[in-house]
Structure 1
């Protein structure tokens, strides 16, 4: 063999993955499925199970479905299938990033994380919802804080009182 005969073979092997980037997603899904199944197998059940469906059922089904989806995706990609590019949004890929919006959203999320233990979820959630609306372009100074307050209180009541997921109430603890 001469050097000219081996060069195209190397180039072909090198470019084999170029049109098959979905195989990376398939590998990630498979790894996640294996992780879920391993964690489910290691799960201890220290309580009496009532009925045929126990605490391992749903994670096992999710892990198996992740493996099935990974295998189906890999098969489709290896048969020449390709994912379609997103055409639903009106996005200009050549436009620069909007770092102001990213920083404002980050500030809203970080302020929620810092303030939730101090002032409670209803108030920190209101700051989060209003901050996100402001960062995304809404400038109504009366409507936005009102909607944020309603969303925050409804979310707090739904999780804390209806679902039994305790959230810090802060100064509003006795009121709600």
Structure 2
């Protein structure tokens, strides 16, 4: 009998998954690289006035940021390939043995999507109220009288601060004349 075992057909797949799991930080490196390329492409194709004053123009900061992203992506990939790994989350309020709470994540995603869809037709005060109330509900608050009131106060206060005090116009919607 031959003492050597022949690998099963599923062995390469498991080895690939194991390698990817051990080098998962490469995904962050790839994302940083793509973001750096995007920033550099946008900065280098930007239409700028040739008659600028001084050596620093509007493309300087985006070019520096894009190059920085590329350098960080390369350094991170190099570190991961040499065996470096990030430390696991060690916060005192996080139980790493528990699975992710996808219900909360999906509820929050739906609330943000609803806010983005509703902000133009109904304005910030109404859509912001729904955003704050929905986020509170998704994160576990179950006070049907208090939560909508707090959400409305936060939304209207945010609208007034940005629109009137900071000069950042937000869509008022149909309640613009009432508020």
TM-score scaled by length of structure 2: 0.73
Alpha-carbon distance change, 104 to 33 in structure 1, aligned in 2, over 3 angstroms: closer
Alpha-carbon distance change, 71 to 110 in structure 1, aligned in 2, over 3 angstroms: closer
* Of 67, 70, 78, the match for 1:67: 70
Alpha-carbon distance change, 17 to 115 in structure 1, aligned in 2, over 3 angstroms: closer
Q: Are 2:119 and 1:116 equivalent residues in the alignment?
A: yes
Alpha-carbon distance change, 121 to 102 in structure 1, aligned in 2, over 3 angstroms: same
Query: After the TM superposition, which of the residue ranges 136-145 and 107-116 deviates more from structure 2?
Result: 107-116
Q: Are 2:175 and 1:172 equivalent residues in the alignment?
A: yes
Alpha-carbon deviation of 1:53? 3.9
* Of 82, 106, 111, the match for 2:85: 82
Query: Deviation per CA, 1:48-105, whole angstroms, max 9, x where unpaired?
Result: 6455543212211221111121122122212221111223243355547553x34543
* Of 119, 128, 133, the match for 2:131: 128
Alpha-carbon distance change, 96 to 81 in structure 1, aligned in 2, over 3 angstroms: closer
Alpha-carbon deviation of 1:169? 0.1
Distance 2:52 2:153 in 1: 40
Match in the other structure for 1:32: 35
Q: Are 2:134 and 1:141 equivalent residues in the alignment?
A: no
Alpha-carbon deviation of 1:124? 1.1
For the aligned residues, what is the CA RMSD? 3.2
TM-score scaled by length of structure 1: 0.74
Alpha-carbon deviation of 1:172? 3.2
Distance 1:17 1:95 in 2: 20
**Structure 2 unaligned spans of 5+:** none
Distance 1:47 1:152 in 2: 43
